[in-house]
Amino acid sequence: MKRENNDTVVSIKDLVVHYETHEGVVEAVNGVSFEIKKGEVLGLVGETGAGKTTIALSIMGLLPVPPAHVIDGEIILDGEILLGKQKVQKGRKKKDVVVAKSNHEMRHIRGKKVSMIFQDPMTALNPVRYVGDQIAEVVELHNICSAKEATQRAKEMMEKVGIPAERYYEYPHQFSGGMRQRVIIAIALACEPELLLADEPTTALDVTIQAQVLDMMRTLQREQQTALLMITHDLGIVAEMCDRCAIIYGGQIVECGDLEHIFDRPRHPYTRGLLSSIPSLEKDVSRLSPIPGLVADPMDLPEYCTFYDRCDKHCESCKTGDPDLVEAEPGHFVRCFRVEKGSV
């Protein structure tokens, strides 16, 4: 089932994911849609608990089920439907049921077509196996080749991410955090995937190392023309790395657009709040202006605009319902009643 637009690597439509726990239902992702084109970098920005990682894990098909449940949505990767609605005969009626690819099918996609870089490099590598073997493993799995070729490819990848190939036979604990993250990136890119999901890849690293790792990622991404989903809470990284950016709050995209849209003409109060929370070297402000309150509790989301509780520009009409994502200018989408009404 090939799609017309060959440029699009991944498209996600109306993804809804809930976690059903003993304490209640966590509405982690509530109708998220986006597309990433070949070679494009999309930044996904949000606070802890906004649902960023859940989106990435849904694409990978690695959501912990249970407690996670995909309620609705469609994920198409490179023309293949990873997750989609199917008519299923249920009793006498036909019902729409969300069907994901089986684990068995997903195995051939993970690591080959889509890879993921995890947040904590300290725990993401197996402590009792050589780092080189851990890179070679993914090559061996997907590029049907001999162990020797896989080893060769792993060494090549190590050099590419800036690790001397001699360190093939070393264990993860002999590597620093930045070096481990390089190994993980090498694993992720070894099979030249169409899509790379980077889940806060540099949060656990020192700032100087961060820059190096990001730089290296950017180079490799351009070289392989990989589509990249960059999950982060750091707008600085977005400015550095991304072509487009989506701001996510309470499991919804609240604003989405090109970098200039987000940084120069932010429309959503949350985006503005985020931007004004960044310390600036140029402007001499005595105090930063943080966003008041706490992140919306995904276990207890309001009926109305999720950001209403923390919004300093809210008005009574904001409580009437959930705003839609509207196009404020070409390519710039905002989810806010005031934009809908054209008052900003």
Contact positions vs other proteins (CB under 8 A):
60, 62, 103, 106-112, 115-116, 118, 120, 123-129, 134, 137-138, 141-142, 171, 173-174, 184, 187-188, 287, 289, 292-294, 308-312, 314
User: 86 vs 123, which CB is nearer to other proteins?
Assistant: 123
User: 91 vs 127, which CB is nearer to other proteins?
Assistant: 127
Residue 82 structure tokens: 């990873």
User: 189 vs 248, which CB is nearer to other proteins?
Assistant: 189
Smallest distance, other proteins to C-beta of residue 7, A: 25
**DSSP state, residue 319:** G
User: 283 vs 287, which CB is nearer to other proteins?
Assistant: 287
User: 68 vs 328, which CB is nearer to other proteins?
Assistant: 68
CA distance 138 to 111: 7
Cβ(79)–Cβ(30) below 8 Å: no
Smallest distance, other proteins to C-beta of residue 87, A: 29
CA distance 179 to 172: 9
User: 12 vs 185, which CB is nearer to other proteins?
Assistant: 185
**335 Cβ partners below 8 Å, 6+ apart?**
252, 253, 254, 255, 268, 305, 323, 324, 325, 326
Q: Helices 147-160 and 131-142, interaxial angle, to 10°?
A: 120
Smallest distance, other proteins to C-beta of residue 277, A: 13
Smallest distance, other proteins to C-beta of residue 289, A: 7
Residue 105 structure tokens: 């099918």
Smallest distance, other proteins to C-beta of residue 9, A: 17
CA 263 to chain CA centroid, Å, is 19
User: 236 vs 290, which CB is nearer to other proteins?
Assistant: 290
- Listed in sequence order, the DSSP H helices in 119-244 are 131-142, 147-160, 177-189, 207-224, 235-241
**14 Cβ partners below 8 Å, 6+ apart?**
31, 32, 33, 72, 73, 74
CA distance 123 to 180: 9
Smallest distance, other proteins to C-beta of residue 111, A: 4
Side chain identity, residue 311: C
CA distance 258 to 322: 24
User: 110 vs 261, which CB is nearer to other proteins?
Assistant: 110
Smallest distance, other proteins to C-beta of residue 107, A: 5
Smallest distance, other proteins to C-beta of residue 313, A: 11
With vertex at residue 137, the alpha carbon angle to CA 131 and CA 143, rounded to the nearest 5 degrees, is 140
